[in-house]
Amino acid sequence: MNTPTPPPALTALQLERALQLLGHSGQPLPPGTPGSPGWLQGVIDALVELSSRDALTGLANRRAFDLALAREIDRVARSGEPALLLTLDIDHFKRVNDSWGHLAGDEVIKAVATALIDSVRPMDLVARVGGEEFAIILPNCASAFGETVAERIRRRVERTPVAVAPGQQVSVSVSIGGAFAPQWVRSTPAIWVGRADLQLYRAKGQGRNLVQLEPTAVSVVSSEEKRLLFESFQFQDTE
Partner 1 sequence: MTAPLSAHDHLNITAVTSGKGGVGKTFVSANLAAGLARIGKKVLVLDADLGLANLDVVLNLYPKVTLHDVFTGKCSLREAILSAPGGFSVLLAGSGMVEYSRMTPEVRDQLQRVIAEVAPQFDHVLLDTGAGISDVVLYTVSLAGRVLVVATPEPTSLTDAYATIKVLATTQGRRRIALLVNQTRKRGEGRTVRLQLQQVVDRFVNPPLDSPVQLDLLGEIPADPAVRDAVQQRQLLVESMPGAPAAIAIMAAAARLDA
Binding site residues, partner 1, CB under 8 A: 70-71, 73-74, 77-80, 182-188, 190-191, 194-195, 198, 201, 218-222, 224-226, 228-231, 233, 235-236, 238
Length of the chain: 239
Least Å distance, CB 14 to partner 1, is: 32
Q: What is the DSSP string of 9-46?
A: HHHHH--HHHHHHHHHTTPPPPPS-TTSHHHHHHHHHH
CB nearer to partner 1: give 87 or 187.
187
CB nearer to partner 1: give 78 or 94.
78
Calpha distance 83→154 (Å, rounded): 19
CB nearer to partner 1: give 32 or 182.
182
Per the CB < 8 A criterion, the answer to whether 138 and 83 are in contact is yes
Least Å distance, CB 151 to partner 1, is: 23
Calpha distance 92→57 (Å, rounded): 19
CB nearer to partner 1: give 48 or 163.
48
Which residues are designated catalytic?
132
Strands 162-165 and 133-138: unpaired
Least Å distance, CB 52 to partner 1, is: 16
Least Å distance, CB 19 to partner 1, is: 31
Among 198, 195, 216, which Cα is nearest to 206's? 198
Count CA atoms within 13 Å of residue 105 on its CB side: 15
Least Å distance, CB 226 to partner 1, is: 6
Work out the number of other CB atoms within 10 angstroms of the CB of residue 146. 21
Among 148, 98, 99, 93, which Cα is nearest to 121's? 148
CB nearer to partner 1: give 12 or 221.
221
Residue 33 C-alpha from the chain's centroid: 37
The runs of H, that is alpha helices, within 80-142 are 93-100, 102-118
